[in-house]
Amino acid sequence: MKRIGLLTSGGDCQALNAAMRGVVKALFTNLEDLEIFGFHEGYKGLIYGNYRMLNYRDFSGILTVGGTILGTSRQPYKLMRIPDENGLDKVEAMKLTYHKLRLDCLVILGGNGTHKTANLLKDEGLNIITLPKTIDNDIWGTDMTFGFQSAVNIASDAIDCIHTTAASHGRVFIVEVMGHKVGWLTLYAGIAGGADIILIPEIPYSINSIEKAINKRTARGSHFTILAVAEGAISQEDALLSKKELREKNKMSHHPSVSYEIAEQIAQKTGQEVRITVPGHMQRGGSPCAYDRVLATRFGAAAADLIIKEEYGNMVAMINGEITKVPLEEVAGRLKMVSPDSSIVKETKLIGISFGD
Ligand code: F6P
């Protein structure tokens, strides 16, 4: 008999259900006796003992369904050691729930913050297996996370739609793509959507370079320009500020996001009409694409295999196309960022796309 807990934590993304289905199908196929406990809304469910027992049928028909059947929430890692408003020690509460239910393993699907807490729970003696989810594809130790390719499809569809209207009107368009800390999604969607300028947090931009890139297009006879801008794009001047100074600056700003600041500057410098489109949480919604369904299913099956072999304390990962495992302590607290020297950035520049640097 194995007793397994399941939870999804942090921002949702496509294929969370597909991944849980993969875990559960593989366990039911290969184990005689199994009990599954699903925790509601991520770590919150584990802290407050809010769960339900699930059976095989609960995972039927969810391969294509977006979101998560368990619900999710953000429970910041930095608050995990701080008691809640009633003085409850959250880490002790999570351990208590785990032991009360006599779990053999807790399967956690999450992104970066989630992995820090997963590693903490592992250090506290719990058996943990994790699966890397996020539209940002920024988890250290895996080439790919599920959710990313679906979000790339949605963001590049948005850029496709903007193309026709931008061309008709001869306007500059900014499409703001999700990603506060890393630019993978903006980079892929920008390339796939044929953006002319791609701005990502890892490569601070200069407004003069953006102006030059737009003017170059105009001189060549292209009367519209499309920018794919990450939520976390940052100017070269702002990149020199401390975190505190930047927070203060953003607090004082009348712009809802960096795209609005860039739009205002482009309009002033070039005299061109600028419009902004923010697809926002659409990028995390809807049915997973076929790639994510396959990846999440493979990750799920691999997680089940680790549970059966009792190889706890690992995240399932994909490295060079192979599904493998990475120790949680290697993953926790590290971000996989776009390197400005990477070949993908070089190739993108080679075809004339500007990073505004
Ligand atoms: O980490 C996933 C992500 O969608 C980021 O790309 C985005 O910056 C952030 O979450 C948005 O967070 P929230 O859903 O809390 O608004």
Domains by residue range for the chain, with CATH: 2-147+288-331 (3.40.50.450), 152-284 (3.40.50.460)
The single-letter DSSP state of residue 324 is: E
Instruction: Identify the CA nearest to 253 among candidates 234, 272, 226.
Output: 234
Judge if pTM exceeds 0.75: yes
Question: What is the model's pLDDT at position 58?
Answer: 98
Q: Whose CA is nearest to atom 12 of ligand 1?
A: 11
In angstroms, the CA 205 to CA 85 distance is 43
pLDDT of residue 244: 96
**Long-range contact set of residues 248-252: C-beta below 8 Å, sequence gap at least 24:** none
Extract the tokens encoding 123. 């250090």
d(CA 1, CA 289): 35
Return the residue whose CA atom lies nearest to atom 5 of ligand 1: 179
Distance 176 CA to ligand 1 centre (A): 13
Q: What pLDDT is recorded for position 109?
A: 98
Give residue 191 CA to ligand 1 midpoint distance, Å. 21
Ligand 1 centroid distance, CA of 66 (Å): 16
**Cα 318 to averaged position of ligand 1 atoms, centre (Å):** 23
DSSP E strands, 102-242: 105-110, 128-132, 172-177, 197-199, 225-230
Pocket-testing residue among 178, 186, 335, ligand 1, by greatest number of atoms within 8 A of Cβ: 178
Ligand 1 atom at minimum distance from 180 CA: 8
How many residues in the chain? 357
What is the rounded CA–CA span in Å between residue 184 and residue 351? Answer: 18
Whether the CB-CB separation of 228 and 197 falls below 8 Å is answered with yes
Pocket of ligand 1 (CB under 6 A): 11, 74, 111, 134-136, 178-180, 231, 284
Tell me, what DSSP letter sits at residue 178? S
Spatial distance between the Cα atoms of 320 and 336, rounded to a whole number of angstroms: 15
Distance in angstroms (rounded) separating the CA atoms of residues 322 and 345: 24
**Active site residues per annotation:** 136
Task: State in Å: Cα 120 to ligand 1 middle.
Answer: 23
Residue 185, H or E segment? helix 184-193
Query: What ligand 1 atom has the least distance to the C-alpha of 232?
Result: 8
Residue ranges in the chain whose pLDDT is less than 70: none
**Cα(120)–Cα(174) distance, integer angstroms:** 40
Q: Measure the CA–CA gap between 336 and 318, rounded to whole angstroms.
A: 13
The atom number, within ligand 1, closest to the CA of 178 reads: 6
Mutation choice for ligand 1 from 72, 134, 146, 180, CB with most ligand atoms inside 8 A: 180
Strand (E) or helix (H) holding 261: helix 258-270
Q: Which atom of ligand 1 is nearest to the CA of 185?
A: 6
- What is the distance between the alpha carbons of residues 293 and 284, in angstroms, rounded to a whole number? 14
Q: 183 C-alpha vs ligand 1 centroid, how far in Å?
A: 13
pLDDT of residue 111: 98
Q: What are the beta bridge partners of residue 274? A: 172
Work out whether the CA dihedral 79, 130, 318, 111 comes out positive or negative: negative
Atom in ligand 1 nearest the alpha carbon of residue 179? 6
Short-list 273, 291, 83, CA closest to 173: 273
CA-nearest of 204, 206, 205, 224 to 214 is: 224
Residues 6+ apart with CB under 8 A from 189: 151, 152, 155, 156, 158, 159, 175, 177, 195, 228
Pocket test for ligand 1, best of 12, 14, 74, 136 (most atoms within 8 A of CB): 136
| 105: helix, strand or coil | strand
